[in-house]
Amino acid sequence: MSATAVKDWHSGMTSLLLDERTAAFVAVDDRGFAGYIVGWESPVGLLPGVGARMGLVGDLVVDMHNYRAGVARELAGALKTEFNRRGVTRLAAFSLRHHVTGQAFWRSMGGIEWLDGFWLKD
């Protein structure tokens, strides 16, 4: 890790969270932190026919040490509602190919398989 990695991450995350295209929700109750979700509007269409605006789920985290049933569903629902309020009616969530729990969650939310991805690094 570079000497500035934490500072660079913090700077980038701060910029993302302050961007008007970003939406973020945190679930907290009397037991403390339960989870969070961050998403943003894509400024361009990802595929022909998808439209110029699409919501992307960047991160969904549930605290498994302090688990509450339904918190992930509530967070995803809040993000979807916020994007709908903005006129964004399509939401993409990516799950690793072998992450069966994540895939099952997004299917339970009405998601359908869309595409496989590749990660390219220098």
With cut-offs at 50, 70 and 90, classify the pLDDT of residue 48: low
How confident is residue 90, by pLDDT bands cut at 50, 70 and 90? confident
**Domain at 18-108, CATH from 3.40.50.2020, 3.40.630.30, 3.90.226.10, 2.30.30.30:** 3.40.630.30
Q: Tokens in use for 59?
A: 């991160």
More confident site: 91 or 76: 76
94 with 49: CB under 8 angstroms? Answer: no
The b/e string for 90-115 (b: 16+ C-beta within 10 A; e otherwise) is ebbbebeeeeeebbebbeeeebeeee
Task: Look at residues 49, 59, 45 and name the one whose alpha carbon lies nearest to residue 16.
Answer: 59
In this structure, what DSSP letter does residue 31 have?
T
Looking at per-residue confidence, does 82 or 89 come out higher? 82
pLDDT bracket for residue 33 (50, 70, 90): very high
> Residues of the chain with pLDDT > 70: what percent?
91
Query: How many CB atoms neighbour CB 54 within 10 A?
Result: 20
More confident call, 53 vs 78 = 78
